[in-house]
Structure 1
């Protein structure tokens, strides 16, 4: 299982968040069947989301989503993380890949491309705050640091890395975020910059482990780890794990987006239906009796908000607007055609 640790350096002038996400990224690779470069891209995004969730979110019930809308062959990438160390994510074209760069590194920037990065923060109330910035390079760490500076007025150094074995398996993955607080001195910032030049965080993790890597990156700045046991975590820090919020019930509800005739066609032609979660790749198989039990009700697959539902007076209520309170685009099934009553 991955881990997240937190702490301070430079006498409290630098805030530090670090994560070992090797197991998290390897699970994502296996779940989605990712190519090597897609593994590196999604791995960096998953790690970055976990670090930003620690930096930006105020309460345990908040969530952070990163949407990379680039013009590269990856086709886009979405990840979602929470302060408890859970994260999930996917790419639109998991087998997209590019040749190794001339310096021997994976071409993540070329795979993601240029475009827009959207960051959504969902509050416990369901209210969503969104910010959009330019994707400057597609390299993920640089783009997230640019977002922090532009939208959050938070100057920070961000290192993200994914190291693969020859067969594609994730050898090491992780990242470090160092936020420069208002009291930081010029010589402390200069020392931090010198420490970070040319550093591979994945190589440091392999050589020194999580705590050792952080101490090396903050050499001369006096890293002081935060005791997270007061927050209910063990001595190792916050567990980091790939966890999706999909359920069999939510997957069945997704079939409401199909018309009654289309659902009956699934039963006749295939003997049932299969729903695949795009977040985690989980597959749910449904028998004819389960499909026929559906009622005319549509909920948001992410937060459960009712989008369409029958009222007691026989009318149908629909959500207002094109966006759910969690930020997801509202997608309603077409109205019943002639001869269809929309119910069961």
Structure 2
């Protein structure tokens, strides 16, 4: 979900942006007007996330999957090795992409999710070793498919890279604890086709693999993310989302609302024997609430009636089944209350 206010403004400005008589998609990305937009967007993001000065903020092509490849080509040249912590679908996908490029021996994988029957827990390891052992350790703080979120930072002797596609700006984090943060835009930032990469300066000096200049982080940094024509409309919408967040009160404000939304929905699930959630409470995602109907024969009926009630995209990922409510920043508390009311009514009807 994108903020309604942002979508309405984009609709008004679609054919006349900034009084120029044309769309933001129709002007040069090197024009004064767009360069101002780009610089302000970076300043707003830096303020929202409290990004230190020794980090570059890049607006990159592609989604999160593109960065699976980019972090390998940008940081694993010259016989580099990396450690990947896997906790669900997306971290596992990152491992597969990395191994396509550098092979099995260059990528060590450590499974940190434990499944005991229907129960799901996460074991955060104590990482120790020589600094030269790995170029980086990679993990995904929020697994959208599995409904798992890791709230504490990973302590590591190696630079930490995090895929924050589905958790960025949902709560405040200490950026200085990460060497690289990347995020596909289509959760809490804007439309698909754009990624934000926040990279510490020293990481840009690591040996690289051969790669396209368009995906080279150092070249992107040197050219203010405009080595070639960027996805200008996605960048414009991201800039508007940043303004919207600031007007609301910033990340601290939305974090409180996100906590309220998640607690409301999990309380409904836990208090009603009609529904179940298998993730240990301390690792339940605030962004992606997964649940199942105890009687899965009612799944199709649940989804059909939910859609009739205006509650969309509740079907769980095909790998895990069940239901999934994605309650990103733009979803208001009233929207979650509406879902809870429907779930309670549906349970009363079928119990």
TM-score normalised per structure 1: 0.28
Between Structure 1 and Structure 2, which shows a larger proportion of strand residues? Answer: 1
Give the number of the structure with larger relative contact order, counting CA–CA contacts within 8 Å between residues 6 or more apart: 2
Task: State the structure with more CA Rg.
Answer: 1
